[in-house]
Amino acid sequence: MAKPLLKSNIKKAALAAAFLSLYMLLAELITGHACFLMSTVGLPCPGCGMTRAFFCLLHLDIKSAFYYHPLFWFVPVYAGLAVFKRIKYGKKETKWFVVFTWASFILFMGVYFVRMILYFPHTEPFVLNPDSFTQRLVYFIIHLVEKLGV
C-alpha cells in the first residue's frame, strides 16, 4: 500500500516541478526574471538577491554575498535544522521548530522591509521590473486609453 502512495507523490512532485520549471523558463524569456513576484508584479521578493549571493559565495566574494542578500547564510542553517528535525522527530511537529520557523519568517520580512525602504527602486537587486506581466498590462491599458482618446 505504501509503494503506490509513494509513486503517486513522486508523480505529483515531478509534475509540479515540471510546471514550475516551465513557468520560470517562460518568465525568464519574456520578462527577464524567473522569480514569480518579479516576473508577475515587477517587485522584488523577500528572497531577492539570494541566488546572486550564493554565486558570490561560490567565488569566495563574501562581501558581495552579504550585499546581495544579508541572510544568504541562514538558508543552509535552516535547511540543516529541518533535516535534523525530520531525522530525530519524523513528521511530528515540534514546538521549537515552529517557533524557529516563525522567527525566521519575521527576520526575513524585517530584512525585506528595511531593504525595500533603503534600496527600492534604485539599487540592484531591489529594482522595478518594467517588463513584468503586470507592468506590460498597465502599459497596454495606458496605450489603449490614449489611442481611444478617453
| pLDDT recorded at residue 69 | 96
Instruction: Indicate the number of domains in the chain.
Output: 1
| pLDDT recorded at residue 116 | 95
The reply to whether 100 falls in a domain is yes
The reply to whether 136 falls in a domain is no
The reply to whether 92 falls in a domain is yes
CA distance 131 to 41: 9
Mean pLDDT score across all residues of the chain: 90
Q: Give the pLDDT confidence of 53-91 residue by residue, as tens digits.
A: 999 999 999 999 999 999 999 999 999 999 999 899 988
Domain of 106, in residue numbers: 45-127
The reply to whether 95 falls in a domain is yes
- Name the one residue in this structure whose C-alpha cell is 513528521: 91
Q: Give the pLDDT confidence of 38-55 residue by residue, as tens digits.
A: 988 999 999 999 989 999
62 contacts 54 by C-beta, under 8 angstroms: no
CA distance 23 to 26: 5
The reply to whether 23 falls in a domain is no
For residues 143 and 1, the model is more confident at 143
The reply to whether 91 falls in a domain is yes
The reply to whether 52 falls in a domain is yes
The reply to whether 116 falls in a domain is yes
| pLDDT recorded at residue 2 | 52
pTM of the model: 0.75
42 contacts 134 by C-beta, under 8 angstroms: yes
* pLDDT band for position 31 (cuts 50, 70, 90): confident
